[in-house]
Amino acid sequence: MTEVTTIREEQGESGYAREVLMNLGPQHPSTHGVLRLLLQMDGEIIERVEPHIGLLHRGTEKLFESFTYTQIFPLTDRLDYLCPPSNNLGYALAVEALLGIEAPLRAQYIRVIMAELSRISGHLLITGALPMDVGAMTSLLYTMRDRAKVMDLMEKISGVRMHTSCVRVGGVREDLPEGCEARILEFCGIFADRISDYETLLKNNRIFLARVENIGNIAADDAIALGLSGPNLRASGVDWDLRRDEPYEIYDRLDFEVITRTDGDCYDRWKCRLDEMRESLKMIRQCVEQMPKGDFLVDDPKIAFPVDKNLLAHSMETHIHHFELAAYGFKVPAGEVYAAIEAPKGELGYYLISDGSEKPFRLKVRAPSFVNLQALTERTTNMKYLADVIAMLGSLDPVMGEVDK
């Protein structure tokens, strides 16, 4: 099929009419990844949108079955590759549930700090990219500047800017380095004002507002029926957030608001993410202030590598456990579990089936971007013109790494 294929063409009394099939993507800057949209159009009016996915499929869920539970962490990094710590966290909680263990309190605080930093990182990208998609270029330059500072913090904590793999079953890979808490608080102080700058930059921008206000409206009932989650659900007025409603880790110790909007249009989805970054800053500050001293990894040589690296030089037993863990992994009791977290894109869930061996029997990922992408295909919105598709897609904020897996 060519880029544009005519399926009906006629000259009537009312004028010339042409119905076409048009490809948007897969190589297109506004698809935010390798996504092909097949558009059936009557002139400029959208009749049907059909996403063609799978162009980034890597067989991740099948690969899980060939790796030990520790070796799987780098694979989860590459689902929503903008927010790896959240991917790590959801998977770790599923394995820990079957093992019947819980990460030390300090490790839980570090995990939440990383998860909220990754939420800011993901939201920052679309905060600037959506306006750019619809013609307001400047905001992306500001958001990418500040996103680089978030990546600097990620590198400080984990040693890596992108694929962090900082979480481990039973805790985190390393404790926070010296002086890291001060750097995190310094960033929070600076970034709070930056969020207001983004809002000032765009709240009266006629180009941006004309393209996103009252475009792509999704009603609350439709959002629930589609299975939407995260900001895409809350922007339609549904007050639901797993961090508050089904709390995990130490979220029940934190004071924060769940951001909701009412209209469910492209603007509300953008604004919801903007305000969520403010709440993430509040949570990060509280984590730094509340975080106790103590272990950052469970003290169980059959599950976790030794915290004290000096033991490797003096203890033969530690050497043996270290070798067995690295080479063969650890066994997880037979059973099945579903663990879900509030990832930046929505509900990220892992359904894990263990047969008692060192590798999962099955591991299924409930990827929020995959579910949220349905809103493009359903005629539940007032998306009408070709230009509206660009705004709608950007406001849904899918990441194709977790759509295609």
Mean pLDDT by 10 residues, the chain (405 residues): 60 63 76 81 83 88 93 90 90 94 94 94 91 86 91 90 89 90 92 90 88 90 91 94 93 94 92 94 95 90 78 75 82 94 94 94 94 79 81 89 87
**Whole-angstrom Cα distance, residue 67 to residue 91?**
14
- CA 299 to each of CA 73, 83, 198, 294, 317: distance values in angstroms, whole numbers, following the listed order: 20, 28, 45, 11, 14
**Whole-angstrom Cα distance, residue 161 to residue 180?**
15
Residue 135 zone, left/alpha/beta (φ > 0; ψ -120 to 50; rest): left
Q: Which two tokens stand for residue 370?
A: 């995959």
Instruction: State the pLDDT at residue 275.
Output: 94
Per-residue model confidence as pLDDT tens digits over 159-186? 888 888 889 999 998 889 998 999 999 9
Q: Where are the domains of the chain?
A: 4-52, 60-298+331-404
Q: Name which of 75, 156, 73, 148 is nearest 114 in CA terms.
A: 156
pTM of the complete model: 0.90
Fold of 60-298+331-404: Cytochrome-c3 Hydrogenase; chain B (1.10.645)
Q: Name which of 297, 276, 353, 358 is nearest 325 in CA terms.
A: 358
Fill in the amino acid letter for 159. G
- Contact between residue 391 and residue 216 where contact means Cβ atoms under 8 Å apart: yes
Could you count the other beta carbons within 10 Å of the beta carbon of residue 103? 27
Helix (H) or strand (E) holding 93: helix 84-99
